[in-house]
Amino acid sequence: MQGASTGIVYGGLKYQARCIADVRADPDHTSFLAGTLSLKEENEVHLIRLSPSGNELLCEGLFYHQNEIWDLKSCPYDSRILSTVYTSGETYGASVWKIPEISSQSNSPQLDQLVSLDDHTAKIKSVLWWPLGKHDKLVTIDERNIFVWSIDSSNKIAKVISQESVGMLHNLSGGAWDPHDRNAVAAICDSSLQCWDLRTMKNANAIEHAHIRDVDYNPKKQHILATAEDEFGIRLWDLRMPKIPLKELPGHSHWTWAVRHNPEYDGLILSAGTDSTVNLWQVSVGSEDPAIDSPRDKRSRQIDPLLNSYTDYEDSIYGIAWSSQDPSVFASLSYDGRVVVESVKPYIQRK
């Protein structure tokens, strides 16, 4: 059977969970942060580290988090800072936290709240850090608005610089910050993907008629991004040509929930779905137009873009993250709280 368990399993999360994030600012270890989603119990944030031998996942820290976590991001320039989006009943909020110094006497310390991002009037969907390094701004997206914050973590101050509403007719549900352009943010709207220019706070560009669940910029190539959609599975776009997708991948048997580009290997894409699988894809989005090629080439090029399907999961998978420290490793988090770290090395070498 395909995907016989090759991954390293971390069973430390005691509740259901949706969010996992790579700790990009930790240069020495392959670390991930995972947050749980429990309505009634006290939630936890786990700092998980891949042991140096690479065959075990260790819990480096366990921190209590009052509310259930719907979004969790690690600060790209400080490994001890993270942001969460949480709800509790009808209330919602987003905060930036600092992981306290790990002391031996208290095994479950609280996170230090640096800043609470609480100017939101609608349900917060996600917090975005500029992905490639130090930047003093944060973007938060709620159902109706996009906020840009100026953040000073040392003084624990966050100020709203600008804010723009998308209107009552639209529901924002998430987004991604362009790693190539600090002023561009892609926001997922009801039936389109809107690209916002943060300087003017205007919607600059849009991919229309797409019911998108997740979006991810290609970290190597500007203007290229991948979307996870209801109708078409995974599609790759060039933002300069928002009418026609560059590529289509079949996606998953049920919803395709998340899609992530590998930070290092171009064309390697990871997707997670509610059919309890994680798929690894290999697509090349070159400058050449695939339509020009002769039919014969086309026949030979029709290799399956699906490199592997990891199926050893019990429940829907909502969280995936590549490790930026070792780009051949990714972590996946299924709803039942199981973190599985897999290496894609065998598939990279096969190229």
Partner 1 sequence: MAGVSSPPPMDEKAKRTRDLLASFYTNTSNSNSAAPSSPSAASNLTPRSPSSLDSINSPSFDASSYMSLLVQKSNLEGLLQKHVQMAAEIKNLDTDLQMLVYENYNKFISATDTIKRMKSNILGMETNMEQLLAKITSVQSKSDSVNTSLFEKREHIEKLHRSRNLLRKVQFIYDLPSRLNKCIKAEAYADAVRFFTGAKPIFEAYGDSSFQECKRASEEAINTVIQNLQEKLYSDSEPIEARAEAVVLLKQLNFPVDNLKTSLLEKLEDCLLKLEDESKDVSVGEISKTFRAYLIIFPDSEQRLIELAQGLFSRRYDAVRDQLKKRMLSVDLLELLGIIWEDVTTVDQVLPEAALPAYSLESTCSSIRQHISIAFSHLQHEISDAVAGSQSKSNEGRDELDLHIVLENSKKAAMQGSLDLLVELRQFFDEKLELLPKLRELITDWVQEGFQEFFQNLEKHFILLSGSSTNNCHLGESNHSGVLTQSPDKLPTGLVLVLSQLAVFIEQSVIPKITEEIAASFSGGGVRVYEYGPAFIPGEICRLFRSAGEKLLHLYINMKTRKISVVSKKRFTTPNWIKHKEPREVHMFVDILLQELEGVKIEVKQILPCGVIKRHRNSDSVGSGSTNSSRSHPNAMREDKLTRSNTQRARSQFLESHLAKLFEQKMEIFTKVEYTQESVISTVIKLCLKSLQEFVRLQTLNRSGYQQIQLDMEFLKAPLKQLVDDDDAAIDFLLKEVNNAAHERCLDPILLEAPILDKLISAKLVKNKDLSASPL
Number of C-beta neighbours around residue 3 at 10 A: 15
CB 92 within 8 A of CB 112: no
Identify which of 174, 72, 82 has the alpha carbon closest to the alpha carbon of residue 125.
174
* Sole window of 192-200, 219-227, 260-268, 334-342 interacting with partner 1 (rule: CB under 8 A): 334-342
Q: Under the criterion CB under 8 A, does residue 316 sit at the interface with partner 1? A: yes
CB 12 within 8 A of CB 20: no
**4 touching partner 1, by CB under 8 A:** yes
Per rule CB under 8 A, is residue 335 in the interface with partner 1? yes
Instruction: Using CB under 8 A, pick the residue from 87, 163, 165, 343 that binds partner 1.
Output: 87
Residue 163 in the binding site for partner 1 (CB under 8 A): no
Alpha-carbon distance of 50 to 53, in angstroms, equals 8
Q: Which strands make up the sheet holding 43-50, listed edge to edge?
A: 17-22, 31-36, 43-50, 57-65
| Cα Rg, the chain, nearest whole Å | 20
Is the CB of 130 or the CB of 257 nearer to partner 1? 257
DSSP secondary structure letter of residue 301: H
Is 229 a binding residue for partner 1 by CB under 8 A? The answer is no
> Is 90 a residue that touches partner 1 (CB under 8 A)?
yes
- Counting DSSP H helices and E strands in the chain, the numbers are 2, 28
Examine residue 11 and tell whether it contacts partner 1 (CB under 8 A). yes
Can you give the length of the chain in residues?
A: 351
274 is a contact residue toward partner 1 (CB under 8 A): yes
Q: Which of 183, 221, 255, 343 binds partner 1 (CB under 8 A)?
A: 255
What x/- string results for residues 24 through 43 when contact with partner 1 is judged by CB under 8 A?
A: --------------xxxx--
Query: Can you tell me the distance from the alpha carbon of 65 to that of 41, in angstroms, rounded to the nearest whole number?
Result: 10
- Please state, in angstroms and rounded to a whole number, the distance separating the CA atoms of residues 59 and 218: 30
Window of 10-18, 76-84, 112-120, 199-207 that interacts with partner 1 by CB under 8 A: 10-18
Closer of 184 and 317 to partner 1 (Cβ): 317
At closest approach, how far in Å is the CB of 121 from partner 1? 16
Asked if residue 93 binds partner 1 (CB under 8 A), the reply is no
> Per CB under 8 A, does 12 bind partner 1?
yes
Smallest gap from Cβ 256 to partner 1, in A, equals: 12
Minimum distance from residue 24 beta carbon to partner 1 (Å): 27
Nearer to partner 1 by Cβ, of 326 and 336: the residue is 336
Joined tokens for residue 337? 């709280």
**Whole-Å CA distances, 230 to 191, 198, 214, 253:** 11, 28, 10, 11
Candidate segments 152-160, 179-187, 248-256, 325-333, binder of partner 1 by CB under 8 A: 248-256
Q: First CA to last CA across the chain, in angstroms?
A: 23
Q: Count CB neighbours of 302 within 10 A.
A: 8
Interaction of residue 56 with partner 1, rule CB under 8 A:
no
Matching residue, tokens 């026609």: 244
Is 162 among the residues that bind partner 1 (CB under 8 A)? no
Is 301 a binding residue for partner 1 by CB under 8 A? The answer is no
The full DSSP string for 34-69 is EEE--SSSPEEEEEEEE-TTSS-EEEEEEEEESSEE
Regarding 16 and contact with partner 1 (CB under 8 A), the answer is yes
| Contacts to partner 1 by CB under 8 A | 1, 4, 11-12, 14-16, 38-41, 87, 89-90, 171, 230-231, 244-245, 248, 253-255, 274-277, 291, 295-296, 311, 313-314, 316, 335-337
